[in-house]
Structure 1
Amino acid sequence: MSVFRANLKPIVAAAFATVMYSMPVAAQQATLDELFERLKTADTVEAARIEREIQMQWRQSGSPSMDLLLKRGREAMEDDRPEAAVEHYGALIDHAPDFAEGWHGRATAFFEMGRYGLALGDLEHVLSLNPRHYEAIFGLGVIMEQLDRREQAYDAYSLVLGLHPNHERAAEAIKRLGRRVNGAEL
């Protein structure tokens, strides 16, 4: 019986250490709701940090296999191979249809290929899964602008700024389109 206890001690100690050291990490990780609330009032530097934290949470698939497909899709995009990225993201979507980042990645690849209709369909799916996905909303604005639908693009960029007031590209787009959409001030 004493042999059993001697073998049990390291297991109990390891379990205790795991619980004790993982609790602060779990407690420190803010919920998405908290992050979005802080993002609304953050300065530029803090907003960049919060944005990274939000995107890290969005990228958590919960599966090493799905993470690998996401990584391969991103690498294909970095290597300017959107067709290969579509394949990787398509496989990710097939296996994890409720993981918004797979849809977002494929939408980006479709956009790079000039396949705006397919990109719009995937962005719509992203937003059905994650209505606060400001990068997907920004993508809608970019596509609307490409299709010369300035008012819709302006509205999309405005939605982005409502979620993420420090989104530089959306702010630049609002400035660029503002005069055309709202007219010149008198």
Structure 2
Amino acid sequence: MDSLIIDSLLKDLKNADEKVRERATKKLWRIWFQQKGTYGLEMIERSQQLLDSGKIGEAKALLAKLIRQQPDFAEAWNRRAFLYYSLGDYQNSLADCQMVLRLIPVHFGALHGMGLCYAAMGQYAEAIKAFHRALEIQPYSLANQKLILECNLRLSN
């Protein structure tokens, strides 16, 4: 991944112009999904099709295979984290999010996912930390701002 392009896109995430931020967000996702070329992208798309059709076990096996083949493919880890989260397996989802962040420390999707996992487990202080880390990268994210407020409300009860 070209660090100059990534740095420029990360800077654009902080731009006051919403269109600039949206374009940067889409480009970063595209870079992350296409990190391993056509094969990696096709495998991720296939896993999503399996997940959408209720074939969760097959989707999980496909992502596990992709991770074994390409352990430095952050988006494969991220997709599996999403799958685990959707199954309520928050510990495994967190572990995969942490792996994504080892590979791509600015992966705001993984930070958001970590926050969601912590919130689902009732660990609101940890969730707030994760959402704040995501906001450092994507300061205009209304979703993360809202989730921080919700977690703070739960902490105050």
Q: So what's the TM-score if we normalise by structure 1?
A: 0.76
The corresponding residue for 1:97 is: 71
1:111 is the counterpart of 2:92: no
Give the % identical residues.
25
Residue 90 of structure 1, CA deviation:
1.0
Counterpart mapping for 1:106-185 below 5 A:
106-181=80-155
Residue 180 of structure 1, CA deviation:
4.3
The corresponding residue for 1:18 is: none
Q: 1:47 to 1:93 in 2, by over 3 A?
A: same
**How far apart, in 2, do the equivalents of 1:142 and 1:81 lie?**
23
**How far apart, in 1, do the equivalents of 2:55 and 2:21 lie?**
31
Query: Is the partner of 1:72 in helix, strand or coil?
Result: helix
Q: So what's the TM-score if we normalise by structure 2?
A: 0.88
The corresponding residue for 1:10 is: none
Residue 80 of structure 1, CA deviation:
4.1
1:37 is the counterpart of 2:14: no
Aligned match of 1:57 in 31, 44, 64? Answer: 31
Query: Is the partner of 2:13 in helix, strand or coil?
Result: helix
Q: Which runs of 5+ in 2 are unaligned?
A: none
**How far apart, in 1, do the equivalents of 2:87 and 2:20 lie?**
34
**How far apart, in 1, do the equivalents of 2:30 and 2:133 lie?**
21
Between 1:76-85 and 1:107-116, the stretch displaced more is 76-85
Residue 142 of structure 1, CA deviation:
0.5
Between 1:132-141 and 1:66-75, the stretch displaced more is 66-75
Q: 1:53 to 1:63 in 2, by over 3 A?
A: closer
Aligned residue type for 2:60: V
RMSD: 1.9
What's the CA shift string for 1:103-143, capped at 9, x where partnerless?
Answer: 00011111111211211111111111011001100111001
Q: Which runs of 5+ in 1 are unaligned?
A: 1-29
